[in-house]
Amino acid sequence: MGPPGAGKGTQAGRLAERFDMDHLSSGDIFRAEQASGSELGNQLARYMAAGMLVPDDTVVRVMAKAVTESSAIGGLLLDGFPRTVFQAEALDQQLADAGRPLDAVVVIGLDDEAAVERISGRRVCSSTGRAYHTKFMPPRIEGIDDETGEKLIQRDDDTEEIVRARLQAYHDQTAPVIEYYYLRPDLKVIEIDGNQSLEEVNASLVEALQSLGAGRETEEVEDHGH
């Protein structure tokens, strides 16, 4: 969890790879639905373009399907979901039914002005959505994704006006979810200062996840060149 610009997607992508977990980003799932041109995608797009949260019943329906279809051995890493207490309760219920309750919640904190600065420099791959930053995390070749060679674009909802609406939604609707998780004795809440560099945030997260025995770490295999 964390406000827009905290680095959720970037960190979740890295952790999922390292610990062999399935990275489920609600925003990515919604943007893929939008790109498909479906009626549902058009509905989602209207909320996203305004920086407003998509209604809970729609989110819960779409995400329940994604969670059910996930088969990663190392477990699930949810990114951007849940964002309301209603969603968190629905997720708890679904995970309890599946016998796979939440192990931990990661909260990456970032103040609003830093969020606006980060988001205004953000550029994403037009096909995969991988994020860069013009100043803090530039691609090797300007305007081009390092891996796919596709063009980098600015997300429609990454303008300052819309980012401020997204921050408002975060403070009003998502902050109570953090409270909700804090009150759960069975759950570890890991707080990370998102003002640190990407590498520092990543190192703290890797350490925290290792101490929880999360996933199935693949780093060593990669180190040996396989």
Q: 3-class DSSP state for residue 25?
A: strand
Which residue, 50 or 104, is less far from ligand AMP as judged by CB?
50
Q: Is 181 exposed, middle or buried (0-12, 13-18, 19+ CB in 10 A)?
A: buried
* Residue tagged active-site, from 18, 31, 118, 122: 122
- Please tell me which residue in 8, 18, 31, 123 is annotated as part of the active site: 8
Catalytic option among 18, 123, 130, 166: 166
CB of 89 to ligand AMP, least distance (A): 13
Least distance between ligand AMP and beta carbon 79 (Å): 7
Contact 68, 39 (CB under 8 A): no
| Minimum separation from the CB atom of position 138 to ligand AMP (A) | 21
- Looking at beta carbons only, is 46 or 100 nearer to ligand AMP? 46
Instruction: Work out how close the CB of 218 gets to ligand AMP at its nearest, in angstroms, rounded to a whole number.
Output: 25
Catalytic residue check, 18: no
Q: Which token pair is 13?
A: 């992508």
Q: Which residues pair with 191 in a beta bridge?
A: 107
Closest to ligand AMP by CB, 85 vs 218, is 85
- Which residue ranges make up the site for ligand AMP (CB under 6 A)? 4, 26-27, 30, 47-48, 51-54, 59, 80-83, 87, 157, 166
Whole-number Å distance between alpha carbons of 36 and 39: 9
Catalytic residue among 18, 31, 83, 130: 83
By CB neighbour count within 10 A (0-12 exposed, 13-18 middle, 19+ buried), where does 147 fall? exposed
What angle, rounded to 10 degrees, do the helices at 8-19 and 198-212 form? 40
Task: Clarify whether 151 is annotated catalytic.
Answer: no
CB-nearer residue toward ligand AMP: 37 or 213: 37
* 8 Å CB contact between 21 and 214: yes
31 noted as active-site residue? no
Catalytic residues: 8, 83, 122, 155, 166
